[in-house]
Amino acid sequence: MKRALIKRIAKIVGSDHLSVDPADLACYSYDASGLSVKPEAVVFPHTAQAVSDILTIANRERIPVYPRGAGTGTTGAAVPAGGGIVVCLSKMDRIKTIDQCELSMVVEPGVITRKVQTLAEEKGLFYPPDPASLGFCTIGGNVNTGAGGARAVKYGVTRDYIRALEVVLPTGKIMRTGTTTAKGVVGYDLTRLMVGSEGTLGIVTEITLKLIPLPEEVGTCLCLFSDEVSALHAVTSFFQAGLLPRAAEFIDSLSMQCIRDNIPLDIHGSAKSMLLVEVDGFKESISRQMDMVRDCCKESGALLIRKAETKREADAFWQVRRSLSPAMKKLGFDAKISEDICVPRGRLPDILKVLREIAAKNDVTILSFGHAGDGNLHVNILFNEGQGPQRDKVNKTVASIMEATVRLGGTISGEHGVGLTKMPFIGLEIDEVQMDTMKAIKRIFDPNNILNPHKVFP
């Protein structure tokens, strides 16, 4: 990129908010996928107008632009694959309004997700989406990946809490989508189109979030099973019994090996699988819902069902689930690839069986856990980096997992998106008619293909 151009962009954001320092460029070259390409510059705009001015220049000069929140995405979606400019939204982090009458909050995209939740709770309101990364990811990143979390089973995902957006289009035009009212059906739903678009259609500069009343009480319990199928059967039986838990987290037998010592209970030696179940609602409803959880788990053959008696004990149960990622290191592998497939919840036992077969065939280790309540499994392929033939097996394993997921009526990504890493598999799920329509939409928004180019679609 020419120096004169960099100077013009520095003038827009202020020279303190643009960097071409190689150390900074290295910091903004990667996301949590581990993929890395250095940009030519990174800028930190403070206003939508600044974003618009940057995009106007980039569009005219055909410079690729890569929007970025906190870089916690796992698919390379924020990686500046073609160099160019990283536009990091982290400095646009103002909370504009919280409205207890309209049940809404207007925020800038760089706000950390936990802050949205905490501020809502202080007003007796609830922003349910809870990606495990909520302590360090941004709400703008959540909008653009359509992030989910453990509570999606009852409350849905980020998409379900976005009323309106301000978006700067790749041409530099500023567009407002949606309504500030609770309802609104005028025109096409461009808000929903933007959600999950992985920074390929526009840069989101303001978000109007929908909030709901904060549930009065929460009930949490930990259930141990002698096998995985019984635990998954318990999950489907919740729904058949008319219960909608707010979380139903599953841990498979290999995960159990890793976290057995972290479970704060005197556990049965033969426990091979675990469910962490949470319900919420009015105070009086909790014991009834917890009884239903207990009955379903008992009838599915649970070895142990323990209700948390205090908030502290509930936190300790969640800590077991959170301890899993670091605890995996015990298995002695130095690398992992994590997929986030989603199947109809009734097909979870089938996908687990297929995963075992794929692991045996390719001689690799697969560990799975996740949001069983919505059929979303985090499938971890564990291996040792640097072993050439091993990498080959890992690639074959990933391809087989994607094929099996789609065959079982599932989707190759329940919450992380496509980015770069899942691009080779999108054709398994999206047919030609859909793909052509999506590509045509991209051309309308971004005629010169400057915004996060060559992502999502092969």
Residues that bind ligand FAD (CB under 6 A): 31-32, 66-74, 77-78, 89, 109, 131-133, 137-138, 140-142, 144-145, 147-149, 198-199, 203-204, 415-416, 452
Give the nearest distance from C-beta 78 to ligand FAD in angstroms. 4
Check: CB of residue 454 under 8 Å from CB of residue 67: no
> Please, which residue, 140 or 410, has the CB nearer to ligand FAD?
140
Q: Which backbone phi and psi does 164 adopt, to 5 degrees? A: -155, 155
* DSSP 8-state secondary structure symbol assigned to residue 363: T
Distance CA 292, CA 381 (A): 35
Residue 133 burial (10 A CB sphere; 0-12, 13-18, 19+) = buried
Q: Please state, in angstroms and rounded to a whole number, the distance separating the CA atoms of residues 420 and 377.
A: 20
Other Cβ atoms closer than 10 A to 192? 16
Nearer to ligand FAD, 198 or 339 (CB): 198
CB of 26 vs ligand FAD, minimal distance in Å = 16
Residue number with CB closer to ligand FAD (200 or 220): 200
Q: Are 129 and 155 in contact (CB under 8 A)?
A: yes
Residue 138 or 253 having the CB closest to ligand FAD: 138
Minimum separation from the CB atom of position 232 to ligand FAD (A): 20
Closest distance to ligand FAD from the beta carbon of 393 (Å): 25
Q: How many CA atoms lie within 13 A of 418 on its CB side?
A: 20
Show the tokens assigned to 326: 């670091």
Sign of CA dihedral 323, 324, 325, 331: positive
Give whichever of 84 and 131 is closer to ligand FAD, judged by the CB atom.
131
Cβ closest to ligand FAD, residue 176 vs residue 393: 176
- Rounded to whole angstroms, the Cα distance separating 248 from 243 reads 11
In whole angstroms, the minimum distance from the beta carbon of 266 to ligand FAD comes to 30
DSSP output for 199-237? TSS-EEEEEEEE-EEPPSEEEEEEEEESSHHHHHHHHHH
- Smallest gap, in angstroms, from Cβ of residue 207 to ligand FAD? 8
Q: Which is nearer to ligand FAD, 146 or 219 (CB)?
A: 146
Strand extents, DSSP E, 100-161: 104-107, 125-126
CB of 320 to ligand FAD, least distance (A): 16
Cβ of residue 299: shortest distance to ligand FAD, in angstroms?
A: 30
Nearer to ligand FAD, 5 or 32 (CB): 32
